[in-house]
Amino acid sequence: MRLWAAAALLAAAPAAAQEGWVPKTSAELVVLDKIRAQPQPLTVKVGQSGAFETLTISVRSCFVRPPDQAADAAAFIDVTDARGKRDVFKGWVLANTPSVSMMEHPVYDLRLVGCK
């Protein structure tokens, strides 16, 4: 996916759903503790929250491309931290282009692997 196309998806997610993206019921994430260099898989159902260390990760929606198109996934997530800043990240993340919209945190990284 080109960078401009990914940015367009981030800006207009409901339109993306109308363009053939298929809604799914859960997001598969990987959370990395950068201090211990330990990745941890985390599955969170849409409309629910999951916890990792001090983070609370809420998944608002998760979409995949149809089978006849190049595989990709997009999820709208809301991340809060019990320490320090409350709101860490709120927005769309993409599985194939994670650098388009990244969570900035001094201790943790978060990546979308896919939606199921």
Give the pLDDT score at 116: 95
CB 113 within 8 A of CB 95: yes
Residues 6+ apart with CB under 8 A from 111: 29, 30, 32, 93, 95, 98
Give the pLDDT score at 52: 94
Of the candidates 57, 54, 53, the residue with the CA atom closest to the CA atom of residue 43: 57
Tens of pLDDT, residue by residue, the chain (116 residues): 444 444 455 454 545 444 689 999 999 999 999 999 999 999 999 999 999 999 999 999 999 999 999 999 999 999 999 987 678 999 999 999 888 888 888 899 999 999 99
CA dihedral 30, 34, 37, 41 (to 10 degrees): -10
How many angstroms separate the CA atoms of 69 and 81, rounded? 36
